[in-house]
Chains A and B, each alone.
Chain A
Amino acid sequence: MKATTSTNRAVVLLGGALLVAMIINLYLIFMLAPEERSMGQVQRIFYFHVPSAWVAFLAFFVVFIASIFYLWKKDRTYDMVAYSSAEIGVIFATLVLITGPIWARPVWNTWWEWTPRLTLFLVLWFIYLAYLMLRSFVEGEERAARFAAVFGIVGFLDVPLVYVSIRLWRDIHPSPVIAGGEGSGLHPDMKLAFFFSLFTFTLLFGFLLIYRFQLQKSTIAVSEIKKQLAY
Chain B
Amino acid sequence: MISKVGAILWKDILSEYRTKEMLGSMVVFSLLVSVIFNFAFPPGSELMREAAPGILWMTIIFASLLGLNRSFVYEVDKGCLQGLMLAPVDRNVIYLSKALVNFIFITLVEVLVLPVFSIFFDLNVINSLLQIFLVLILSTAGVAIIGTLFSAISVNTRSREIMLPIMYFPVFIPVIFGAVQSTKAILQEQPWSVIWGWLRIVIAFDVIFLIVALLTFEFVIEE
Contact = CB atoms under 8 A, between A and B. Distances in A.
Indicate, yes or no, whether A interacts with B.
yes
B209 interface: yes
Contacts of A151: 150, 153, 167
Contact of A161 (B157, B201, B216, B222): B201
Contacts of A150: 149, 153, 216, 219-220
B196 to A, nearest CB: 12
Interface residues of A, number: 29
Interface in A98-154: 123, 126-127, 130, 133-134, 137-139, 143, 146-147, 149-151, 153-154
Interface stretch (A8-16, A31-39, A166-174, A178-186): A166-174
A149 B157 CA distance: 15
Contacts of A126: 169-170
A165 interface: yes
Nearest to A135: B157
B179 to A, nearest CB: 10
B194 to A, nearest CB: 8
Nearest to A125: B170
Interface in B21-64: none
Interface stretch (B12-20, B111-119, B158-166): B158-166
A161 B208 contact: yes
Contact of B146 (A146, A154, A164): A154
B142 to A, nearest CB: 10
A50 to B, nearest CB: 23
Contacts of A149: 219
B219 A158 contact: no
Given A146-B219, A147-B220, A164-B201, A158 B157 contact: no
B205 A130 contact: no
Contacts of B173: 123, 158, 162, 165
Contacts of A165: 173-174, 177-178, 201
Given A161-B204, A165-B178, A168-B201, A154 B219 contact: no
Interface string B200-223: 010011001100100010011010
Contacts of A127: 170-171
B216 A157 contact: no
Contacts of B171: 127, 130, 154-155, 158
B82 interface: no
Given A165-B177, A168-B177, A137 B204 contact: no
Contacts of B169: 126
B105 interface: no
B156 interface: yes
A60 to B, nearest CB: 13
A71 B216 contact: yes
A147 B156 contact: yes
Nearest to A71: B219
Nearest to B177: A165
B158 to A, nearest CB: 5
B208 A157 contact: yes
Interface of B: 146, 149-150, 153, 156-159, 163, 166-167, 169-171, 173-174, 177-178, 181, 197-198, 201, 204-205, 208-209, 212, 216, 219-220, 222
Q: Which 7 A-B pairs have the closest CB atoms?
A: A165-B177, A126-B170, A161-B174, A137-B157, A165-B174, A150-B216, A127-B170
Interface of A: 71, 123, 126-127, 130, 133-134, 137-139, 143, 146-147, 149-151, 153-155, 157-158, 161-162, 164-166, 168-169, 172
11 contacts: A123-B170, A137-B157, A137-B158, A153-B212, A153-B216, A154-B149, A154-B212, A162-B174, A164-B201, A169-B177, A172-B181
Given A134-B157, A161-B204, 9 more contacts: A71-B219, A134-B163, A138-B157, A150-B149, A153-B212, A157-B208, A157-B209, A161-B201, A168-B181
